[in-house]
Homo-oligomer: A and B are copies of this chain.
């Protein structure tokens, strides 16, 4: 195995610079290790475009090439000596939900770039091309569905339907579209051409490995340096519209009310209860249900809510158990509709399958960890990732590094320099090994 040094100072500095491209107020000084930057960087906003431009400069300076597809997926490519072979890929995303942290996704993009640079500086010559991808809109903030770039690469979303998706850049009402579509927004951002051309042919990637923070507490708690992901949980999300009857908060008397928010409150508690029951019944913790967005119409102190929108995120490692929670929730909704005189509509935003990692890639990484004396465990990813969809067209695996206290999607999300260095080094060695197969 080759000797390889990662330039961790360069990588940390770039993570800092990227974090300052944010719609949150920047922290000017970061006096202590572990002081982190709040990041809001929603796809195709000015901050996202700024981050893309900054990344491309970095890549060109490192001597790699850049290609962008019609949805803005950005391929940082290092050509191999044998142009006839499928490439080895890595990558992740740089978009961030409102008031998120600075490591989710970014470690996989800048870590991928650093892996390529370190290998190049170490004199490594790859037989297969190596690519780092910056994937568009892993986060569902703007269009209601996550992993838009990787879904298109994997061909698991209809390109025309994708182009018609409504822009829901967060405003007062969680379900209120801006009137624009993905087609409008991506073209305004400079990404033209048909989305049908985004799908990757089988064979484009010989192998794909994504580096990511764990976003859970297990690795830190157990003192393990690296997680090798064997399965990714099946995610789904649903939009609910509760229609009641509004009116003046003083004059509409309690017996006459069909308050959409009170009905929605019962729904919020119902799905929480059923997810907890699914865990209790299975003796596990694999079912998670979250309502993270609520829109109240008309949204005034002195108006009884006539309409409420909720978005449910429901995940499980077992699709049948996930469907069971949804069925129990549906039964409660029917009862709430009946008792409260409201109407509830459900719209499926996405309901995806779980993904299974390539045994060959998992074994390759295990072998490297053993040779390098890096502690690892095989684990399930409960968060879904771009790799869920790349997995449809390529053998994939993921590498996790520890997240402080398991915190993610919050400004205090943090991974240590040591963890980032180990993860990036294992990624680089895996890419090198796979590129010479």
Contact = CB atoms under 8 A, between A and B. Distances in A.
Contact of A408 (B233, B251, B272): B251
B315 A250 contact: yes
B144 A252 contact: no
Contacts of A279: 254-255
Given A172-B172, A409-B298, A287 B254 contact: yes
A70 B261 CA distance: 38
A308 to B, nearest CB: 8
A99 B261 CA distance: 17
B249 A290 contact: yes
Contacts of A289: 254
Interface string A229-257: 00001010100000000111111111110
One complex includes copies of this chain to the number of 2
B250 A144 contact: no
A265 B362 CA distance: 43
Given A97-B300, A172-B171, A301-B311, A294 B292 contact: no
29 contacts: A97-B300, A139-B300, A140-B300, A141-B300, A170-B299, A217-B256, A249-B292, A249-B313, A249-B409, A250-B315, A251-B408, A252-B288, A254-B272, A254-B275, A254-B289, A255-B279, A261-B291, A262-B272, A264-B265, A265-B265, A269-B269, A292-B298, A292-B304, A293-B300, A294-B294, A294-B296, A298-B409, A300-B409, A306-B410
Given A171-B171, A171-B172, 8 more contacts: A97-B302, A144-B301, A249-B290, A261-B292, A265-B265, A292-B305, A293-B299, A294-B294
